[in-house]
Amino acid sequence: MPSLTITLIQTPLFWEDKAANLAMLEKKIYAITEKTELVVLPEMFSTGFSMQPESLAEEMEGETFAWMKKVAATKKIILTGSLIITEGGQYFNRLVWVLPDGSFGYYDKRHRFAFAGEDEKYTPGNKRLIARVKGWKINLQVCYDLRFPVWARQQTEETPEYDILLYVANWPERRSHAWKTLLTARAIENQCYVIGVNRVGNDGNGIYHSGDSMVIDALGTIIYHKNGEEDVHTIVLEKEPLENIRSKFPFWKDADSFQILQDRDTDE
């Protein structure tokens, strides 16, 4: 049962300044000295959580995606995070999953944060993305998706659908209790590891983010948590403890069967 080494980057972001953010993140990633296989960046890592896609959006083959491919190849890592993408005259808050060889998958944020007007600017996704690496299955989601458990729920048949549920976010400090509580709930109810990677600092609207990036095991035990400061943290997840929990407490077998009326996609 292979382990998986993941690096979480909790960082401030320069407001709507792609060049500054990419330079800052590149420095942090290249400074990682320990072995890592997956590096996770926050939501809208190149701009901050902006409602100005008209001036900030890029085509998929734009500079930020090219930067992701370059960094992934140079460091021989999988790199993921969300950015603003334009396609077919629409705008998407798109999480991109880039492998060292340049292949990629993506997930468009399903639940748009209407409280901030995201629903007026961005088109919702309609497919989940469950990526695979070294025998691990990772369900990739974005920020506000966390509040909607059906979209994340394990669809079990003979085995659980995924092993890790990963959220990238720009989640404000004023609602950090909900962030921490819901991350823990998602881990317990889905009997999986949950990873939440959030930004820190004030955004361009003066909204403060406390980070509170977390890694939680399938029993709801917090195995990493960082509040209020930037951090680059590498953690090794082991498959055997997860399988032992699922074997000893096979609650997943008693789950209600259901069907989400949107297509799902799986990236190999």
Q: Which residues are catalytic?
A: 43, 109, 143
Phi, psi of 167 (to 5 degrees): -120, 130
Distance, in Å, from the CA atom of 199 to the CA atom of 211, rounded to the nearest integer, reads: 5
Helices (H), the chain: 18-30, 53-56, 63-75, 118-121, 149-152, 176-190, 239-248
b/e per residue 117-126 (b: at least 16 CB within 10 A) = ebeebbbebe
| DSSP secondary structure letters along 108-141 | E-SS--GGGTHHHH-PPP--EEEEEETTEEEEEE
The position carrying tokens 């074997």 is: 247
Spatial contact of 12 and 44, defined as CB atoms under 8 Å apart = no
- Copy the structure tokens of residue 118: 């995201």
